[in-house]
Amino acid sequence: MQRLWVERRETSVARTVGLTVAIAAAALITVVAIALSTKQSCPFVYSWDGTQYVFDAEPYGGAITRGLERDDYSELEHLREQNGRLPIAVNHEVDETQFTNFVELWVADHAPGTRVAADGMASCMGLPAFSSCRGA
């Protein structure tokens, strides 16, 4: 058995830079093409803020088949009561198939300075206010 070693001792900065740029551009084009071809919009949830409906949530993204079905919880930060009601609007803004088989609005009374979060097990919990990290 004979071995053949090929070794190149010279380098070309222009070729190296060109090849690197070409690979990066191809990767970017591939990522953009995949994102555009698989773009799935969720139903958009608009909440009444006291004067108008404003965008507030985009739950369960990509649930386009029964196998991708799941529960999702969204905080509606802009929702305000009007005449004893909590008006929301759910809208499909892209021509696509989405399956929404249950919508429920949970209202949680909580102390000022706390936040409420769903735990994924159909219950809520209060969380203390967190301050942002100033450094590590």
Residue 70: is it exposed, middle or buried by C-beta count within 10 angstroms (0-12/13-18/19+)? exposed
What percent of the chain stands above pLDDT 70?
80
What is the C-alpha separation between 28 and 38, in angstroms, rounded? 15
Q: Please, what is the average pLDDT of the chain?
A: 80
Q: At 92, which helix (H) or strand (E)?
A: none
Name the pTM for this structure. Answer: 0.57
Query: Which sign does the torsion angle of CA 91, 95, 99, 101 carry?
Result: positive
Q: What residue type is 51 in one-letter code? A: T
| CB within 8 Å of 110: residues ≥ 6 apart | 116, 126
Higher pLDDT, 26 or 98: 26
> Tell me, what's the pLDDT at 35?
65
> What does the pLDDT look like over 21-74, one tens digit per residue?
999 999 999 887 776 665 556 788 899 999 999 998 888 766 667 777 777 788
